[in-house]
């Protein structure tokens, strides 16, 4: 046979194989159908016309910005990559959870310790945040620790259903390795059911809905923990149709300490409302990355994160500790890799806000926070 034909046939076979691997599993990863979600969504406070809505007027993309977005996608897609390897620390969990601490695994995945409980947020251990294992934003640093080495957690909370916050493979492994319930905004339970999460491990809440761990049979003598689904300003969707499930931030309140997990959100008056009703908070975990002037309503910039921290701390910017999330792990916008943290640190310094910027895998104890080094400045 002609060698060129053999080579061409081989290349064609490889191409077909790659396409098969790229599309394999996509329908399952996308989650539940709209018809499966809708019965749970109906009746929610912000649900109308078969979609969830922000309280404040919000646009996912500013009017007239589509052409410039296309130009940025073609010319700036690598701007957000680090110039060298991102340093990691191996997480070291104490035998007993602390009164207040947090370990950052990257992006929005954290392990929060409050009054002896451990809460896992937006767990994503996959290589890509995409329905495809071959296409989509890939990690810019490894996960600091295998999921098999994660200590036992008391609850898993999810902010919304975007792929960088809700990951099918991680959810499935957590079902096998952990016994903790999943607390999620309304509608996301349908995705979990679609992936085999037992019904008795799914709790769906609307904005303002609260549940204590003792009510779930997971409380401890002398100490309980109340988790509240709080309002965020964002959007949802794992396919072409948006806003079929709710998005949220979370309040984590114990008998002595209070933490707030922002998830992914634009700046909103809901921060001040949460601070007044559920705070002031001792620890806030707020997103600082993936912002752009073309989508200001649904992603905060670093200065807004510092402002949000003050709102959550009863208007006192010097109260509590701000730990940034939603940066450094995935390239999801067109700003420089370290720009979010540089801007946040500058704004915090100007406003008198105490911040801690952990490396991926690093555990932060607010009682022992010190200025530390600017490790991100040494990358590359």
| DSSP states of 337-349 | SSHHHHHHHHHHH
Number of neighbouring beta carbons within 10 Å of residue 51: 16
pLDDT tens per residue, range 172-223 = 999 999 999 999 999 999 999 999 999 999 999 999 999 999 999 999 887 8
Per-residue pLDDT band at 17 (split at 50, 70, 90): low
- Dihedrals φ, ψ of 26, to 5°? -60, -45
Contact 63, 54 (CB under 8 A): no
Q: Which range has the worst mean pLDDT, 13-22, 210-219, 233-242?
A: 13-22
> Average pLDDT, stretch 107-115?
98
Contact 27, 139 (CB under 8 A): no
pLDDT tens per residue, range 318-332 = 999 999 999 999 999
Instruction: Sketch the domain layout of the chain as residue ranges.
Output: 100-372
Classify residue 147 as left (phi > 0), alpha (psi -120 to 50) or beta.
alpha
Q: Considering the chain, what is the average pLDDT of its residues?
A: 93
Question: Sign of dihedral through CA atoms 35, 39, 40, 41?
Answer: positive
Q: CATH number of the domain at 100-372, please? A: 3.60.15.10
**pTM of the prediction?**
0.94
Contact 360, 141 (CB under 8 A): yes
> Average pLDDT, stretch 126-152?
97
What's the pLDDT at 24? 59
Per-residue pLDDT band at 140 (split at 50, 70, 90): very high
């Amino acid at each position: 046979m002609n060698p060129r034909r053999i080579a061409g046939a081989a290349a064609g076979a490889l191409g077909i194989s790659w396409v098969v691997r790229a599309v394999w599993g996509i329908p399952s990863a996308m989650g539940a159908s709209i018809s499966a979600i809708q019965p749970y969504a109906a009746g929610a406070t912000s649900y109308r016309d078969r979609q969830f809505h922000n309280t404040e007027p919000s646009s996912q993309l500013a009017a007239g910005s589509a052409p410039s977005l296309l130009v940025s996608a073609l010319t700036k897609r690598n701007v957000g990559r680090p110039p060298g390897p991102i340093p990691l620390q191996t997480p070291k969990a104490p035998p007993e959870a602390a009164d207040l601490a947090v370990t950052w695994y990257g992006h929005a995945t954290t392990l929060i310790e409050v009054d002896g409980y451990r809460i896992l947020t937006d767990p994503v251990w996959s290589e890509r945040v995409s329905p495809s294992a071959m296409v989509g934003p890939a990690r810019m640093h490894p996960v600091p620790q295998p999921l098999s080495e994660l200590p036992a957690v008391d609850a898993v909370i999810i902010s919304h259903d975007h792929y960088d916050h809700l990951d099918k493979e991680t959810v499935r492994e957590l079902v096998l390795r952990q016994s903790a319930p999943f607390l999620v905004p309304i509608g996301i339970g349908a995705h979990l059911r679609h992936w085999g999460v037992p019904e008795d491990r799914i709790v769906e809440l609307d904005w303002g809905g609260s549940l204590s761990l003792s009510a779930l049979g997971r409380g401890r003598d002398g100490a309980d923990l109340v988790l509240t689904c709080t309002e965020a300003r964002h959007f949802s969707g794992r396919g072409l149709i948006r806003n079929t499930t709710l998005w949220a931030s979370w309040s984590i309140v114990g008998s002595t300490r209070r933490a707030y997990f922002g998830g992914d959100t634009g700046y909103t008056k809901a921060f001040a409302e949460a601070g007044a009703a559920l705070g002031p908070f001792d620890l806030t975990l707020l997103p600082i990355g993936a912002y752009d002037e073309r989508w200001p309503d649904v992603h905060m910039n670093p200065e807004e994160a510092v402002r949000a921290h003050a709102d959550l701390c009863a208007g006192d910017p010097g109260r509590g500790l701000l730990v940034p999330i939603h940066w450094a792990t995935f390239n999801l916008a067109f700003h420089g890799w370290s720009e979010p943290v540089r801007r946040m640190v500058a704004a915090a310094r100007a406003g008198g806000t105490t911040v801690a910027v952990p490396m991926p895998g690093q555990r932060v104890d607010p009682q022992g926070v010190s200025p530390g080094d600017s490790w991100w400045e040494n990358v590359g």
